Structure 1
Amino acid sequence: MAGQATATPSAGGSDTSPTALARDLLVACKRGDSTASLRATLAALDDSALRPLREDRRTALAFWLNCYNAGTQLLLGERPELYDSPLGFVRFFWAPAITVAGTSLSLDRIENGLLRGGRSKYGLGYLPKLLVSTFEQRYRLSGCDPRVHFALNCGAESCPAIRAYEPEQIDRQLDLATRSYLEATVAYDADENLVRVPRVCLWFRGDFGGASGIRAFLREYDAIPADSTPKIRYLSWDWTKATGKFVE
Structure 2
Amino acid sequence: MSDATPDPDSTPDPVDASARLLRAVRVGDPVEERVTALATLDEAALTGLSVPARTAFWLNCYNAAAQLLLDTEPDLYEVRRAFFGAEALPVAGHPLSLDGIEHGLLRGRSKHGFGYLPRLFASGFERRHRLPAVDPRVHFALNCGAESCPAVAAYSRDADAELDDAAATYLDRTVEYDPDAGLRGRGVVRVPRTCLWFRRDFGGASGVRTLLRAYDLLPADASPRVRYLDWDWSPRPRRFRE
**Structure 1-normalised TM-score?**
0.90
Amino acid at match of 2:24: A
Quick check: 1:90 aligned with 2:81?
yes
The answer on whether the counterparts of 1:156 and 1:240 sit within 8 Å (CA) in structure 2 is: yes
Of residues 213, 232, 236 in structure 2, which corresponds to 1:238? 232
Relative contact order higher in (CA < 8 Å, ≥ 6 apart): 1
Of residues 122, 146, 152 in structure 1, which corresponds to 2:112? 122
Distance change >3 Å, CA 158–CA 229, structure 1 → 2: same
The answer on whether the counterparts of 1:69 and 1:153 sit within 8 Å (CA) in structure 2 is: yes
Of residues 13, 17, 37 in structure 2, which corresponds to 1:17? 13
The answer on whether the counterparts of 1:153 and 1:161 sit within 8 Å (CA) in structure 2 is: yes
Q: How does 1:69-218 map to 2 (within 5 A)?
A: 69-84=63-78, 88-116=79-107, 118-167=108-157, 169-192=158-181, 193-218=187-212
Matched residues in 1 for 2:188 and 2:38: separation? Answer: 46
Amino acid at match of 2:172: E
Amino acid at match of 1:184: R
Local SS of the residue matching 2:96: strand
Amino acid at match of 1:114: L
Deviates more, 1:40-49 or 1:104-113: 40-49
Amino acid at match of 1:137: R
Tell me the CA shift for residue 31 of structure 1.
Answer: 0.3
Residues 138-177 of structure 1, C-alpha deviation per residue, up to 9 Å, x if partnerless? 101111000000000010000000110001x211110111
- Which ranges of structure 2 fall in alignment gaps of 5 or more residues? 1-7, 182-186
The answer on whether the counterparts of 1:98 and 1:105 sit within 8 Å (CA) in structure 2 is: yes
Tell me the CA shift for residue 15 of structure 1.
Answer: 7.7
* Percent of pairs with identical residues: 55
Tell me the CA shift for residue 222 of structure 1.
Answer: 1.0
Q: How does 1:36-75 map to 2 (within 5 A)?
A: 36-53=32-49, 56-75=50-69
The answer on whether the counterparts of 2:89 and 2:96 sit within 8 Å (CA) in structure 1 is: yes
Residues 101-150 of structure 1, C-alpha deviation per residue, up to 9 Å, x if partnerless? 1000000000000001x200100011111120010001011110000000
- Which ranges of structure 1 fall in alignment gaps of 5 or more residues? 1-11
**Structure 2-normalised TM-score?**
0.92
Query: Once superposed, what is the RMSD of the aligned Cα atoms?
Result: 1.4
Matched residues in 1 for 2:17 and 2:11: separation? Answer: 8
Matched residues in 1 for 2:129 and 2:47: separation? Answer: 9
The answer on whether the counterparts of 2:145 and 2:235 sit within 8 Å (CA) in structure 1 is: yes
The answer on whether the counterparts of 1:15 and 1:21 sit within 8 Å (CA) in structure 2 is: no
Residues 165-220 of structure 1, C-alpha deviation per residue, up to 9 Å, x if partnerless? 001x2111101110111110101001111101100000011001111111111111
Select the structure of larger CA radius of gyration: 2
Local SS of the residue matching 2:227: strand
